[in-house]
């Protein structure tokens, strides 16, 4: 029987962005908030669910052919609490919160 893992596509912020997010989180300092390690901070694009090893491999192979790098910025302007999973997170109320940069480095 293969093990099942949570699989999702996500964006991983740079170190400076992680530091800024952690500063916001530490400023809240309320119970039962449990801070995660800065290295685990990410923006989930889509959650694919719990998948087996074979499914994960197939998704990874397919995704490898479509990944590209475009420099852009995201603007988060709201602190949200998702009750069911118990997650405090930064979100955006702006549908145009993604800003593409004109040049790619």
Report the mean per-residue pLDDT for the chain: 82
Helix (H, G, I), strand (E, B) or coil at 57: helix
pLDDT at 105: 45
- Domain segments of the chain as ranges: 4-100
Cβ pair 37, 7 in contact under 8 A: no
**Distance from C-alpha of 56 to C-alpha of 54, rounded to nearest angstrom:** 5
* 92 has pLDDT over 70: yes
Scanning the structure block, which residue is given the tokens 């800003």? Answer: 99
Task: Quote the pLDDT of residue 59.
Answer: 93
Per-residue pLDDT tens over the stretch 9-48: 998 889 998 998 888 888 876 666 678 888 999 988 889 9
Tracing tokens 């997650």 back to the chain, one arrives at 87
Q: What gap in Å lies between CA 7 and CA 4, rounded to an integer?
A: 9
């Amino acid at each position: 029987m293969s093990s099942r893992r949570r699989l999702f596509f996500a964006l991983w912020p740079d170190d400076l962005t992680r530091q800024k997010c952690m500063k916001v989180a530490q400023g809240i300092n309320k119970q039962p908030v449990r801070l995660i390690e800065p290295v685990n901070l990410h923006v989930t694009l889509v959650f694919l669910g719990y998948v087996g090893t074979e499914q994960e491999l197939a998704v990874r192979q397919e995704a490898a052919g479509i990944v590209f790098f475009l420099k852009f910025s995201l603007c988060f302007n709201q602190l949200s609490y998702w009750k069911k999973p118990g997650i405090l997170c930064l979100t955006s109320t702006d549908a145009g919160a993604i800003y593409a940069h004109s040049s790619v480095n």
